[in-house]
Amino acid sequence: MAEHHTAPDYKHKASSNAAGALSGNGRAGSSGGSGGLSGGLTQPAGWQSLLSFTILFLAWLAGFSSRLFAVIRFESIIHEFDPWFNYRSTHHLTTNGFYEFLNWFDERAWYPLGRIVGGTVYPGLMLTAGLIHYVLNLLNVTVHIRDVCVFLAPVFSGLTSISTFLLTRELWNQGAGLLAACFIAIVPGYISRSVAGSFDNEGIAIFALQFTYYLWVKSVKTGSVFWAIACCLSYFYMVSAWGGYVFIINLIPLHVFVLLLMQRFSRRLYIAYSTFYIVGLVLSMQIPFVGFQPIRTSEHMAAAGVFALLQAYAFLQYLKDRLTRQEFQTLFFLGVSLAAGVVFFTVIYLTYTGEPYHHLYAKIHIPIIASVSEHQPTTWVSFFFDLHILVCTFPAGLWFCIKNINDERVFVALYAISAVYFAGVMVRLMLTLTPVVCMLSAIAFSNVFEHYLGDDMKREKPPAEDSSDEDDKRNSGNLYDKAGKVRKHVSDIVTMLMLMLLMMFAVHCTWVTSNAYSSPSVVLASYNHDGSRNILDDFREAYYWLRQNTDEHARVMSWWDYGYQIAGMANRTTLVDNNTWNNSHIALVGKAMSSNESAAYEIMKSLDVDYVLIIFGGVIGYSGDDINKFLWMVRIAEGEHPKDIRESDYFTPQGEFRVDKAGSPTLLNCLMYKMSYYRFGEMQLDFRTPPGFDRTRNAEIGNKDIRLKHLEEAFTSEHWLVRIYRVKKEDNRQGLDHKPRNLSQKQKYISKKLMGGKCAPRGAWLAWRRGAL
């Protein structure tokens, strides 16, 4: 019943999505329309599945095409920072094979330490991309591995919407499922991590997450080992893909625990969880990076505790059949209160000392974590920006779920509450909230449409068509007949306004995707007044210069943000990179950047640095440059070397951070400042501003006469965005510390003596030689 009535609406939804996504609009509109208008009502089941299939296909298409902004505007290129590492290791995998990849020791990262890549990554992403590449090549479709990597996330977004459809169908009904699939296909909260080119773990992990949840709900519903094993396999894929699997291994036990509290224990639950826990545990330990963590660390203990509790509970249930009532009650009270108490307090203890608080703590205390913008708490604007109307309507869906509770709706309610908490703590966890918001909003909207669109359908359809839904319809018909004309108009208005809200959602999603989430950040674009576009390709220009003009084993020092890109694009050895596992090494680089030149030279010599790469945005007004990140370098350096670096030295006495004449002398003479503004003082950008005017910080720089002693400028890109300096080698022989004036006196003295015909002492003669040199 519900499906019939709601289905045409989803068609509208899907086509409006596709239209919003700019591409494929004509096709989407026409095929969606024909699906709805065709009079295939004689076979309801066939009609329904065809429509579902079409809608899911269109959702996939809309999701895929709305992720292509960056590819169309720029080119097929890997984005940002982390994806470059993933791409590099995928490339390594495809060229050297699986075992080489697992044993890969990357000596080009973290010089001189190196990095064991095979044991410190979640390999799922690379293996997926590598497998697709392999299969395509077997079929003689010769694509480059880069293209596979670029388009992997958009393709997987389609799979995500299908698994969301499946999960929502299990939770509510098919109509809500279709709506949820459409939502998740285009919602910005998920697009932010899965545009074409952002080749990152999250892109495939959200699919794995949703699919695991679907299989879990399915196995709780059926109680069959088959579904539980399928759930484990999906969980295994998730573990191999993303560290966020911890969320699953805590949520599913929580679900079981709450079901026990609600006295909803059943054999089905027992079979599902026992199978899931044991097989899932063994499988998850097969990933080298995870190893023995599942039986060691606190995040995984809740799962073990609930497993024990479930066994105890089942055992008691078994005893209940064997013992007398009196005996049993005593035993029951003792056992259950003890076990429940222990488990409950363990869970509470773990949630408090586990992930979220850990992050909260880290955020306050460790500069390197605080410096990453993804680890900030979330404002309401971010929620609204990423979810738009869904964030306002999903509580309604949650309400409906709790009011009509059953086993699997307990699950979705727990999912919603825990995910919303984590999303509030940390911006990046918005990603785990997005799917559940889509599902619950879809439930809310589908509920409304079921009631208000149903009216329309009834009026249009002659009453004697569906024999199966006959009674139901007549009932509702009778109910609404009393309302008469006005009622009909009201429901029309409701439908129209709801559709309008959904349309606005689609438009919002497209706008956000296009404007906020489709920048590769490797290539920048600027727009002129007439709308024409300038491409600033400085990053790749500089990296390519490094690749072509430096020694193959040259070591490049830069701030950690650019480590992966240098390794990926320039193929040179880096000191630190985005895998920020070694704080002291990063602090050493930070110290070099924030010391004066000669102190920095000592550090750079000890680290064998050949080149230094910095990002400077003062010419074009690029705000994400190294001077703006500089205080973090100082803070991180101060954390490890408090005697040498002090943050307060870099501020003016008034506590300001300024680069102009009023800035602190320590800042004006540190290496980073010198490298950023070297020769910049001679440069006049336009006639209104003095030479050496920094556009990012809107200030005339304070130190225009910069001379470098141990470094020399090697390369500066077209818009000065990337500047590379060569570290000069030491002189063959170091000059003495003696003052030259002393020597010349000595020289005079010696010559006098020589003239006097006496033999000069040997030391003096040596000194004279040195002076002459």
Interface with other proteins by CB under 8 A: which residues?
A: 360, 363, 377-381, 383-385, 389, 391-396, 398-400, 402-403, 405, 413, 416-417, 420-421, 423-425, 444, 447-448, 451-452, 479, 482-483, 486-487, 490, 493-494, 497, 500-501, 504, 507-508, 511, 648, 651, 653, 655
The one-letter amino acid code at 378 reads T
State in angstroms the smallest separation of the CB of 523 from other proteins.
22
State in angstroms the smallest separation of the CB of 468 from other proteins.
21
Count of C-beta atoms within a 10 Å radius of residue 464? 7
Nearest CA to 290 out of 354, 246, 341 is that of: 246
Comparison of 463 and 642: residue with beta carbon closer to other proteins: 642
Comparison of 333 and 421: residue with beta carbon closer to other proteins: 421
State in angstroms the smallest separation of the CB of 724 from other proteins.
33
Comparison of 472 and 712: residue with beta carbon closer to other proteins: 472
State in angstroms the smallest separation of the CB of 645 from other proteins.
13
State in angstroms the smallest separation of the CB of 594 from other proteins.
17
State in angstroms the smallest separation of the CB of 288 from other proteins.
35
Count of C-beta atoms within a 10 Å radius of residue 587? 22
532, burial (CB in 10 Å: exposed 0-12, middle 13-18, buried 19+): exposed
The one-letter amino acid code at 75 reads E
Comparison of 391 and 522: residue with beta carbon closer to other proteins: 391
Comparison of 98 and 384: residue with beta carbon closer to other proteins: 384
Rounded Cα distance, 737 and 379, in Å: 58
Dihedral sign (CA 719, 723, 724, 727): positive
State in angstroms the smallest separation of the CB of 408 from other proteins.
16
Instruction: Identify the residue whose tokens are 């509109």.
Output: 29
Comparison of 135 and 516: residue with beta carbon closer to other proteins: 516
Comparison of 291 and 624: residue with beta carbon closer to other proteins: 624
CB of 615 within 8 A of CB of 565? no
Cis peptide before 112 (omega within 30 of 0): yes
CB of 394 within 8 A of CB of 350? no
State in angstroms the smallest separation of the CB of 729 from other proteins.
38
Long-range CB contact pairs, 742-748, < 8 A, 24+: 743/767, 743/768, 743/770, 743/771, 744/771, 746/771, 747/771, 747/772
> DSSP 3-state assignment of 555?
strand
Nearest CA to 397 out of 449, 450, 437, 452 is that of: 437
State in angstroms the smallest separation of the CB of 483 from other proteins.
5
DSSP state of 192: T
State in angstroms the smallest separation of the CB of 373 from other proteins.
10
Rounded Cα distance, 60 and 444, in Å: 22
Dihedral sign (CA 566, 572, 578, 584): negative
CB of 612 within 8 A of CB of 574? no
